[in-house]
Amino acid sequence: MTAARSRRGGLARRSGRRGEVLAALLLMAKGYRILGFRLASPRGEIDLLAKRGNVLAVVEVKRRATLEAALEAVRPDQRERLRRAAAAIAAGRPALKAATIRLDLVALAPGRLPRHIPDAWRGG
């Protein structure tokens, strides 16, 4: 791996972490309780896991030029992995077993406020 590529990777990771923190702050301001960051399960990794009421929100954080690009960046197979990962995590936590699992998106774009889209891929 070249030094330039390694540097770009490091910058991307730091940018991603900043985006996740920004997304968490936005969600907390909306009344969500953050249950975890970058949760790994055998089924996949979840950027943010948040809960409000009986909803367990699996939050994917994407930084793209537009909202549409952020929505398209999460393919159907990735959405299914996120659903399975959330179900596995919920099954292991008694307090979450009855929660309704929902896939949300927090889209970040240069020069724009972050945007939270609950149930971003309704039916998809």
Q: What is the pLDDT of residues 9-38, one digit of tens each?
A: 665 566 668 889 999 999 999 999 999 999
Burial classification of residue 14, based on how many CB atoms lie within 10 Å of its CB (0-12 exposed, 13-18 middle, 19 or more buried): exposed
Domain ranges of the chain: 3-117
CA–CA separation, 3 and 112 (whole Å)? 31
What pTM does this model have? 0.84
The mean pLDDT of 38-61, rounded to a whole number, is: 91
- Whole-angstrom distance, CA of residue 93 vs CA of residue 23: 24
CATH architecture under which domain 3-117 falls: 3-Layer(aba) Sandwich (3.40)
